Copies of this chain bind each other. A is one copy, B any other.
Amino acid sequence: MNVLIVFTHPNKESLNGAFLKNVVKGCKENGLIKDIQLLDLYEENFNPILYFDEKNKRRHMHKNPVFAKYRELLLWADKVVFIYPIWWGRPPAMLLGYFDQVFSAHFAYKNTGKYTAKGLLKGKSVICISTMKGPRMYPFFLLHNVHKNLMKKAVFQFVGMKKVKFFEFGNMEASGQAKKLERIYRYFRKMNS
């Protein structure tokens, strides 16, 4: 199994950075995992701003050489792990811009003329690890679960990535984060599909 980790936080010395370390540590001790690649969007200086006009058409963006590397990483991966904080009920603009730029038509999906497209990233699975300031149940009760719907229904299912697992961690400024980190390490060490 090839694992791609997409990390989106400006500061590696953060709780998100600690989750990253534990994911990597767990993966390295997991005999079923062949290889791991890390994509740190902030460190890459990834350009999240999708631009198009009459000359640079959106329908040609799947051929844009600037993003070839990111498309290849996705094709290579069997599992994609996203690590990010929740800001305003959803991931940072940087990560959403990654979808805007890399999940292009003819690469990630194909329009069928019907309401839903044909997903071209079928068979790959996703794990989302997110942190937020408030309590874990807050988005469920107050925001109609907007984060999960946004990621699972509007992005991953659309491109055929049907298996999506969430680890949502609340109260990130409280003490006692060690248990959460341990849980992630153990999960990735034993992960078998």
Q: Is the CB of A53 within 8 A of B87?
A: no
**By the criterion CB–CB under 8 Å, are B54 and A13 in contact?**
yes
Report the Cα distance A115→B135, complex, angstroms: 8
Interface residues of A in 66-94 (CB under 8 A from B): 87-90, 92-94
Q: What is the predominant secondary structure among interface residues of chain A facing chain B?
A: loop
User: What separation, in Å, do the CA atoms of A97 and B93 have in the docked complex?
Assistant: 5
User: Smallest CB–CB gap between A127 and chain B, Å?
Assistant: 19
- A96 touching B88, Cβ below 8 Å: yes
Interface membership of A2, Cβ < 8 A: no
Contact, CB under 8 Å: B149 / A93: no
The 0/1 profile, CB within 8 Å of B marked 1, for residues 145-176 of chain A is 11001100111001000000000000000000
Cβ contact within 8 Å between B100 and A93: yes
6 A-B interface contacts by CB (under 8 A)? A42-B49, A50-B92, A88-B154, A89-B149, A96-B96, A144-B144
